[in-house]
Amino acid sequence: MFNLIRQKFLPKFELPKKYEMKIKKPKFLINIKDSLEDSMESLSLSSNNVDKRKIIEILFEEELIIILMEDGEIILYDIITTKTKKITKYSSLTKMAKSLYINSMRKSLLITYIKKRRDLNEGFELKLSEITINKLKERQFNKKDFSKIIKNESMVTPAFIEFDDYNKILLTMNSLGTYKIWNLKDYSKKMEITDKRIEDYQKILLLLLKL
C-alpha cells in the first residue's frame, strides 16, 4: 500500500550524478583474498594443480582460517601474518580426519577422525582429538599438544559423533548402540541411553530438551 501511495503522491527523487557514491570493496578484504589465493598456490591447491583436492570444511576463528582437505590434511592460514602450517598426522591410510569443530567453551579445535583397527582385519574406529586454538596460532605444536577425548569408548563404525552447538553438548553412539550425552565444557558424561528401539538420535535431543 505504501508503495502505491509513494508512486502516486510523492515526487520521484533522484540523486544528482555528482553526489553518486561508488561502492568499493574495503582494501583489507581485497588483501585477505589476494593473500589467501597466494597461500593456496604455495600449498599446491590452486585450480591449475593436477591434484585438485577438494576442500571438505573451512572454519574461521578470529584471524585463523582452518581448512580440512579431502585426504584428511588440515591447513592453518593466518590472515594477519599470511603464514601457513599443515597438520599431516590425520592424513594417512590408517588415520584420516573427517570433520572439524570449534569448541567455544574451551577455545579449542576438535578433530573427528577414523583410525584403522589393529585387532581386526577390516573396520575403522571413530576417534576424537583436541588441541587449543592458542597452540594452533603459535604454529609450534607437536603430538603431545593433541589430547584424546572420550578415548575409553568403543567407537567402531557405524558409531557416530555429533556436536550440538546450541545446547553445548556432544552426542555419541558407540559400537554397542549405546547413546551418550557429554558436556562440551569438561567432557563429563551427562546421560546414557541404551534403549535399542531408538532409531533417530535427533529424537534423543528433543527428549532431553523437554526434561
C-alpha–C-alpha distance, residues 183 and 74, integer Å: 26
Q: What is the pLDDT of residues 71-116, one digit of tens each?
A: 999 999 988 888 889 998 888 888 999 999 999 999 999 999 998 8
Sign of CA dihedral 151, 95, 104, 133: positive
Domain assignment present for residue 123? The answer is yes
Residue that terminates a domain, selected from 132, 149, 166:
149
d(CA 112, CA 130): 9
12-45: pLDDT as tens digits? 444 444 434 443 444 444 444 455 555 555 454 4
Q: Do 145 and 60 share a structural domain? A: yes
- What's the domain count of the chain? 2
Query: Does residue 134 sit within a domain?
Result: yes
> The pTM is what?
0.71
Q: Report DSSP letters for 113-169, one per residue.
A: EEEE-SSSSS-EEEEEEEEEHHHHHHT---GGG-EEESTTS--BTT-EEEEETTTTE
Could you read off the pLDDT of 117-172 as tens digits, one per residue?
776 566 788 999 999 999 998 888 888 999 999 888 888 877 889 998 888 889 89
Range of the domain at 125: 53-149
